[in-house]
Every structure is written in structure tokens, then in C-alpha cells.
A and B are shown apart, each in its own frame.
Chain A
Amino acid sequence: MKIEARSLSYSIRGKLLLSDVSLTVQPGETLALVGPNGSGKSTLMRLLAGLARPSQGEVLLAEKSLARLTRREVAQRTAIVEQQADTAERITARSVVELGRTPWLSALRPWSGEDSQHVENALKTVEMEGFASREWATLSGGERQRLHIARALAQRPGLLLLDEPTNHLDIHHQLSILNCIRNLKVTTVVALHDLNQALMCDRVAVLSGGRLVALGTPQQALAPEMVSGIFGIKARWVEDAEGSEPFLSFHLA
């Protein structure tokens, strides 16, 4: 599903958090969103998910204006994993993933075997099948994060928005989640802090101070001069002795 942001601006109480951001993500593409803390990544995600309305500009989901869709229609197309979402309810891991089916259910369309199947598949994708009946409070941070991702997958969205999905995850699960996202045929926007992980995505958008300062292939958008300026560090390309793809190495300026 294609998503297009047209000159989005967002301000709250007179403070401009995003200004004039335009970008298009093609169907099936994975776009990484990078930028320093407070650069507006989560804010942009919320606008793309329709959780907040832009002060200016509009979001088009498969050529349709987001403002024209009902909440339920948006939820059948878009799933979001927010940076932090917790609960005190004594809910089981499986029930968390089952929440993902909410936008597809109604009084006339109750839970069915198909829904259970989506839930099982999502649990399997994040390697959490063995935890299905555990209570939320007993799970580790990374396990919770993986359940949120599974919940989003169970929603069967055309657009997946992930806000720092890999924080809390060990290196195995970081790589496996990223790999899974890239292999999904779903359009994905993923906010990341690890720039070398952003290299694995199809394209990269760089935000700084609420503005889009670069958008392009990972090699273009994450050019060391650009990265160094924005994050206030020194970055350079390196290759290891075995001739891997070049990756970024950093140190403080």
C-alpha cells in the first residue's frame, strides 16, 4: 500500500514540531526514519497513523486522504507499534496479539478460525509461540516488544509503522525482526537509532529539528558528512577484512 505525506506540518501550543515534510513510500518498500532524539520521528509516525491530525498538509493512504477514512478503515490498513505502550492488566501474551484483530471484528463478524490463524502466524514470526499463555507482567522488555510487533502483524496491515521496534531486543531478535520486516510484502516505515540497521532498508529518510533533511538510498542519505553534521559526531565508511558491505563507524567529534 502506497503512503504519501504532502507537506506535513504539525505544531502543538505554538511549538512547531514538524515543518513541511513530504515523502512517498511505494508499495512493499521499507523506509527507515532516522534522526536525533526529539527530531520528530515519533510525531511523524503519529501523523502517518492518523493518531494526530497535521496542522497543515495531508496524508494519502493508497491515494485516499487519511482524513476521509473512519478510524476503523484506517486500522484495517495501518498498524503502528508505538515507542512505549504498557498495561497493568493481567492479560496473557496471546490476548495482546488477539487485540490486533479488533479492526476486523464486529457484532456480525465474530472471532473465527481465520483470526486464530493470523494470531498463530504472528506469534510464530516473532518467535513467541512458547510464551502465548504467559501473563504480560511476567515478560521481559524484549518479549513485550516482540508481542507488540506480533499484534501489529496480526492486524494484517498494508502499511506497518514501527517506532524503534528493535530497542529492548537482543542482537539475534534485532536482526530477525528487521529481516522479517524486509521480507514482508507490506509497506513499512521504521524509526531506527542504529544507522547500520537503517542501511539494510530500501530507503532512508533523515529528520533533524522537525525537517526532512535527506531522503534517498541508504548510501546517499547516510553519507558520512550528512550524518556527522546532524548527530554532532564523526562518521566514516569502513569495510572489514572479509570485504563485507561497507558500514558506518562513529566516534565523537
Chain B
Amino acid sequence: MSAAAAITWQGVKGACLALPVLIAAVLAGAMIGETALAPDLVLSVLANKLAGAGLPVDPIDQGIIWSYRLPRALVAGACGAALAVAGVVLQALLRNALADPYILGISAGASTGAVAVTIAGLGGGALSLSFGAFNGALLAFGFVAILARAAGAGGSRAAAAQIVLAGIAGSQLFNALTAFIIAKSANADQARGIMFWLMGNMSGVRWPDVWLAVPLALAGWGVCRFHARALDAFTFGTDSAASLGIPVRQVQVVLIFATALTTAVMVSIVGSIGFVGLVIPHAARFLVGPGHRRLMPAAALTGAVFLIGADIVSRIIIPGQVLPIGVVTALIGAPSFAVILVRGRRAAR
């Protein structure tokens, strides 16, 4: 078997395992909700919309499935996968088990951008919340990157610790700015709305968001997957990676920018959903071990399914009310992770 064939074969096998699971999760996302809709109804809608089958379906049901639930499930999947992969990459690169996609100040910056637009009235109402959040995230990340560089990260051996510290400093600064803007000019309703958004809100998701989130998640995935072996080489630190032939600086820059960009876009679409990027990587590590060629697909799949599931739960758990998805991810995620932690320990003995 030629080298190239071997790679594609691995990829095909992986996709054969992952795709049915993903499709099932998305279909579940379209079926389950305040009004439960039968699987054949969902399939009819898909046939109508994708193949123009012209099957008779109640237009209200069709609207719910096609315009609301499907885009939500797809964005949740893209977002869960992207956050989980970003977490895997940053934990390996920074050699820090507590690293998550927000460690570079992105979530804090996004919230500052969001409140600057919605509460402080930046842009005079012409700018959207997502736009503000995205730019705030990039601004905060730029601040963190420059601070880390000025502190000598990259060349020196303590680089990883300095990036983490710069991220903490940046997050604190931007969180303080957010609090300042809220305290100065928000009324109680606005403050509540922002709180809600910060904990993750998928209710505004429509098809255009799908066209942004899904390709971006795939592209981010491609970049990270390409560097899987390089990430393995970071196991014993940057010097060891360099001595194994990894262009350390280049890999760090490419991966940090790729994860920062995907995370910033995801946050601007759905808010800063916590937990996924921190804990799914660890859960996946318990399942398939620390090698990144298996860990990355496992984390992406787990993250996608987990977030689609969390979105379903957030819609149905309190009748007539939608819970912020971040609350659900933490409420389900924390106990299930505790179970994995305990069982993983036993298996290791």
C-alpha cells in the first residue's frame, strides 16, 4: 500500500465511524424539542429541501425543523468540535492541563466587545453584537500575544508559562473593562441579557451562521490535524520538540493563531460556552490515550456530540424556557467528567 493510500485509508475508516454518529446527533437535534417531531418528518423535510421531493409536510413543522433546529444542531456540532480541538491543541502546546480555548483572553475580549456595542453604544447601533464580540476577542488576543512576546516567550524555555500568564493578565483586564461598562451604563435587563449571552446562547442561530461555523471548524480541524505528530513531539517540552526536528516557533504561531481565530468566531456566534474546551480534551484522552493522531478526532467527535446534546437539553429541561447552554454543559459535563476521572484511575492500575 502506498504512503498516500495508507493515509486516506485511515481517514476513511475514521470517517466511517464518526459520520453516522454525527448524523444521528444532528437528526436528534432536529427531532427533539418542545414539540417532538417524528424522524420520518425530519427526513421528509430534508428530502424536500435538499432534493426538492415535494412531500406533504406541515409548513410550521417544516419551518421549525429547517429554519431553527437544523442550523442550531449544525452550529452546535461545529462549535463543540472546534472548541474541543482548540483545547487539545493548547493543552499540548502550553503543556498545561488547565489550558482551554479562552486562556488567550478570547472570551474576556469578546464580552468586552459585546457590551461595548450593545451597552456603551459603540458604533451608534450600526454594529451587531457578533461583530463587537469578534473584534473584542481579536483585540484581547492581540494584547495577550504582544504581552507574551514582550515577556520573552517563544525563544526562552519558560515560554509556555509566560503565554499562560499573559493570557490571565489579558483576561483580567478585559473582564474589568466589561464590568466597568456594565456598572456605568447598563440597566438590570441589559445586564441580564449580557449575562445570558456570556454563558452561551444558541437561540439566534440561523443558516448564515452555519455557513460560517462549519467550514471554519473544518478548516481549523485540518490545520490542527496536520500538526498532530508535531504536538506529540511537545510531550517533553519545546527543547525536546526542537531536537526531534519540529520548527517549534512556527508550529506555535500557526496553531495559536488558528485556534484563536476559530474560537473568536465561535464565541461571536454563540457566546462563550465554557467547559467543552477544557474538559472534553481530558475525557477524550481517557478514552483513546494521549497520542494526538487519535486524540484529535476523538475530541472533535465527542465535543460535537456533547454540545448538540447540551443544546437539546437546554431547550427541553425547563418547559417554555431556554437555559443558557453553558449552564447545561457544566451541569451535565462536571458529573460525567467526575465519573470518567474515577473510572480512568481504576483502569490505570
Contacts and interface: CB of A to CB of B under 8 A. Distances in A.
Interface in B186-239: 226, 229, 232-233, 235-237, 239
Interface string A81-106: 01001111111100110011011010
A22 B314 CA distance: 69
Contact of B229 (A74, A85, A102): A102
A85 B242 contact: no
Contacts of B285: 90
Interface stretch (A56-64, A107-115, A167-175, A214-222): A107-115
Given A71-B247, A109-B3, A88 B97 contact: yes
A72 B236 CA distance: 17
Contact of B245 (A75, A87, A92): A75
A76 B245 contact: yes
Interface residues of B, number: 27
Instruction: Give the size range of A's interface with the partner.
Output: 35 or more
10 contacts: A51-B242, A70-B245, A75-B244, A85-B236, A85-B237, A87-B237, A91-B235, A91-B290, A102-B244, A110-B7
B242 A135 contact: no
A110 B3 contact: yes
Given A102-B245, A103-B244, A108 B233 contact: no
B247 A95 contact: no
Contacts of B39: none
A219 B31 CA distance: 83
Identify the interface centre among A51, A96, A102: most chain B CB within 10 Å of its CB.
A102
B117 to A, nearest CB: 41
Nearest to B232: A99
Contacts of A66: none
Given A85-B236, A89-B235, A105 B229 contact: yes
Contacts of B290: 89-91, 95
B97 A82 contact: no
B76 to A, nearest CB: 30
A80 B243 contact: yes
A107 B4 CA distance: 8
Interface string B3-16: 11011000000000
A201 interface: no
Contacts of A88: 95, 97
Nearest to B245: A75
Contacts of B237: 85, 87
B7 to A, nearest CB: 6
Contacts of A85: 236-237, 239-240
Given A91-B290, A108-B3, 17 more contacts: A70-B245, A71-B242, A71-B245, A71-B246, A71-B247, A82-B243, A86-B236, A88-B95, A95-B291, A99-B233, A99-B235, A100-B244, A102-B232, A102-B246, A103-B245, A135-B348, A155-B244
B289 interface: yes
Interface in B38-95: 95
A99 B3 contact: no
- Which A-B residue pairs are the 10 nearest by beta carbons? A75-B245, A103-B245, A72-B245, A102-B244, A85-B236, A89-B290, A80-B243, A87-B235, A71-B247, A102-B233
Nearest to B96: A88
Interface string A42-78: 0000100111000000000000000000111111101
A79 interface: yes
A75 B229 CA distance: 15
Nearest to B233: A102
A70 B248 CA distance: 12
Nearest to B2: A108
A87 B236 contact: yes
A82 B235 contact: no
A153 B126 CA distance: 63
A88 B237 CA distance: 11
A70 B95 CA distance: 24
Interface string B253-270: 000000000000000000
Contacts of A155: 244
Given A99-B232, A110-B6, A79 B226 contact: no
Contacts of A92: 289
